Amino acid sequence: MSSARSTPDAAGPPAPAVRLDGVSKSYGEVRALDDVSLTVRQGEFFGVLGPNGAGKSTLVEIMVGMRRPDAGTVSVLGGSPWPRDTALLRRIGVQTQSSAFFTRLTAGEHLATVAALYGLDRAAAGRALEQVDLADRARTRVDDLSGGQRQRLALATALIHRPDLIFLDEPTAALDPQARRSLWEVLRSLRGEGRTIVCTTHHLDEAEALCDRVAIVARGALLALDSPGSLVRSLAAPARLLVPADRLSVAQAEGLDGVDRVTVEGGEVVIETRAANRVLVAVGELVGIETVQTRTATLEDAYLRLTGSEQHG
């Protein structure tokens, strides 16, 4: 592995926050990552999206130097994360998938301990609690926090030393919708401060709502990497029009020009089309425009097409 550090180039674009080149990793027979190359830019909110077992955690662990790739090179903030480089680790914050909390301590005591491990004073712990809006829980035992509060404490743990680059491994897994939204707000404010965030998730809405760019990973392979909008467009996922089944028959719908596919789901005729405007007008003439519901393509459609084609390919 190269130990060369990139020299800052005043004229060129800023050095990437993370660069992976041909990274592969196997656990015995299981190929967790297969020749993954990607670049995370400074200041972006970078999503890694994929189903369980896709290799997301392995990817993060390799980026932060907790795991060594079998092949390929990794560069983080211009340095190599392997072997352990404390100067580099000082600049990155990590929230692992299973949150690490000190046993039987309060939220405040836990953070004060982590602060001391980084050589910081108690004020750093208070600041981190404020940042995730948990200051009023400082004296609560970690075990007595709600799921959402625990996730925010885990985030505070990753942020305590004010890292430039933050890795979050499924930070909203197992949270109820409200807790997820409130964590999103915290994550958005971090991005607003100009920090680089790499965040894995298997929630599509999350990737769509938060990320500047999304890498879609399945079975260790990088399937696509682009902004959520571009991913949706480039995959040309069809739009869907929904009409109550008693207003329109399947045969009628299939007879319309520009319709790709017609199905019936839950009492609704679902029309898939890539010519949404034209078909909408035609359907509107048949049943009245106000009875038609439209569903535009989402990242979910793009994702399902990608990971689906992977499974049949």
Partner 1 sequence: MSAYAAMTRATYLAYVRDRTSVFFTFAFPLLFLVVFGLLFRGQTVNGGLAYINYIAPGVLAWGIGNAALFGVAFTLMHWRRDDLLRLVWRTPTPLPTVLASRYAVALGTGLVQAVLFTAVALLPVFGLHLAASWPAALPVLLLGVTAFVAVGLVVGGLANTPEAVAAIANCVMVPMAFLSGAFYPVDLMPGWLQAFSRVLPLRWFVDGVTDALAGRGGLLGPATDCLALAVFAGLFTLLAARTFRWSNRT
**Binding footprint of ligand ADP on the chain (CB under 6 A):** 27, 30, 32, 50, 52-58
| Closest distance to ligand ADP from the beta carbon of 147 (Å) | 19
Nearer Cβ to partner 1 (96/200): 96
| Closest distance to ligand ADP from the beta carbon of 63 (Å) | 12
Contacts with 129 (C-beta within 8 Å, 6 or more apart), sequence order: 107, 108, 111, 135, 137, 138, 156
Q: How far apart are CA 294 and CA 271, in angstroms?
A: 9
Q: How far apart are CA 57 and CA 200, in angstroms?
A: 8
| Closest distance to partner 1 from the beta carbon of 35 (Å) | 22
The owner of tokens 């480039």 is 234
Binds 50: which of partner 1, Mg ion, ligand ADP, none (CB < 5-8 Å by kind): ligand ADP
Query: What amino acid is encoded at 146 in this protein?
Result: S
> Which one, of 111, 110, 96, lies nearest residue 66 by Cα?
96
| Closest distance to partner 1 from the beta carbon of 179 (Å) | 21
92-95, strands of its sheet edge to edge? 92-95, 165-169, 196-201, 45-49, 213-218, 221-226
> Which one, of 285, 283, 258, 282, lies nearest residue 272 by Cα?
258
Binds 55: which of ligand ADP, partner 1, Mg ion, none (CB < 5-8 Å by kind): ligand ADP
- Separation in Å, CA 20 to CA 95, 218, 270, 307: 20, 17, 42, 22
Binds 118: which of partner 1, Mg ion, ligand ADP, none (CB < 5-8 Å by kind): partner 1
Rule CB under 8 A: say whether 30 interacts with partner 1. no
- For residue 83, whether the previous peptide bond is cis, meaning omega lies within 30 degrees of 0, is yes
Among residues 66, 245, 250, 286, the one that binds partner 1 under rule CB under 8 A: 66
* Positions 117 through 136 that interact with partner 1 (CB under 8 A): 117-119, 121-122
Nearer Cβ to Mg ion (57/151): 57
Binds 32: which of Mg ion, partner 1, ligand ADP, none (CB < 5-8 Å by kind): ligand ADP
| Closest distance to partner 1 from the beta carbon of 70 (Å) | 14
